[in-house]
Amino acid sequence: MLVKVDAIRKLDVVRNRDVKGSRQLLFFAYALTMKGVTEELESLGCTLQKAFGVIGQTPEEFEALFMDPQESRRRIDYAA
């Protein structure tokens, strides 16, 4: 991830801060960065669920609280 961020920072458009011609590049850089943040938060969430437990018996049951009822039933049945 850091390699991609460094590569983006080295681009002339970024170094010159030419915002007018690089809106797409800035959006791409933002989206790429946020993807990394989201992945890290997902990983942290799973780690904390394993360490401290969750509401319900399993992480799958906890995740099912935030899903469509039919989808959650399928996941809980699959986990059991």
For the segment 40-78, what is each residue's pLDDT rounded down to a tens digit?
Answer: 999 998 888 888 877 777 777 777 788 787 765 666 566
Question: For residues 52 and 20, what is the distance between their CA atoms, to the nearest angstrom?
Answer: 48
User: Can you give the pTM of this predicted structure?
Assistant: 0.46
So what's the pLDDT on residue 13? 66
Specify the number of domains making up the chain.
1
Domain span including residue 13: 2-79
**Higher pLDDT, residue 74 or 29:** 29
So what's the pLDDT on residue 17? 64
The beta strand positions in 1-80, using DSSP E, are none
Nearest partner of 78 among 66, 56, 60, 53, judged by Cα? 60
So what's the pLDDT on residue 38? 92
